[in-house]
Amino acid sequence: MAPAHRMLLLGSVFLFSACGPSQEEREALAAEQRALAAADTLAQAEAVFTAEAFDTVQWVAVDSAVARGQTVFSYSCQKCHGDAGDGSGGFVAQGDTLRPPSFLTDDWRFSDDHEGLRHQIFVGTAAGMPHWGLEGLKPRDIDAVAQFIRLGLRDGAP
């Protein structure tokens, strides 16, 4: 390649790279797109959630629900919420370490709200909690893990 062609090619590379968005702008755009996608998925989960889906969930005994919930917690919740449910899982998603709330604090908002907890588990959050109802977790398993969190982790049953 002739020196003039090399200079033209090199100049074109610099010109085109200078015209595009900066790394910081690309990262901001990607973060904005992730936030929009999370909000859209959250809206989808809200649209399909129905409290009546839990009306048919029955347990032979509360202990059965708590035991099943412990299993569900171990494969669906533990990596973020930690072994004890204290929010210490340290799961990294898209470069951010998620810090979910502890289930063990006195002021935890779902301590006396079983239906609200089931709703939260089903719908998830825009801040990183999976939308378990859209991810395939059935109402029975959502109820079970809610029972485990409230009666097992908080009250120390199993």
Predicted local distance difference test score (pLDDT) of residue 21: 75
Whole-model pTM: value is 0.76
Predicted local distance difference test score (pLDDT) of residue 158: 43
Predicted local distance difference test score (pLDDT) of residue 121: 97
pLDDT mean across residues, the chain: 85
Spatial distance between the Cα atoms of 87 and 112, rounded to a whole number of angstroms = 19
Predicted local distance difference test score (pLDDT) of residue 68: 98
Nearest 5°: the CA angle 51, 125, 93 is 140
Predicted local distance difference test score (pLDDT) of residue 1: 55
Residues of the chain with pLDDT under 50: 157-158
Predicted local distance difference test score (pLDDT) of residue 40: 81
Q: Using the CB atoms, write b or e for 54-65: b if 16+ within 10 Å.
A: beebeeeeeeeb
Predicted local distance difference test score (pLDDT) of residue 11: 56
Signed CA dihedral, 100, 102, 108, 110: sign only: positive
Identify the CATH homologous superfamily for domain 21-153: Cytochrome c-like domain (1.10.760.10)
- What is the percent of the chain where pLDDT is above 70? 83
Predicted local distance difference test score (pLDDT) of residue 133: 93
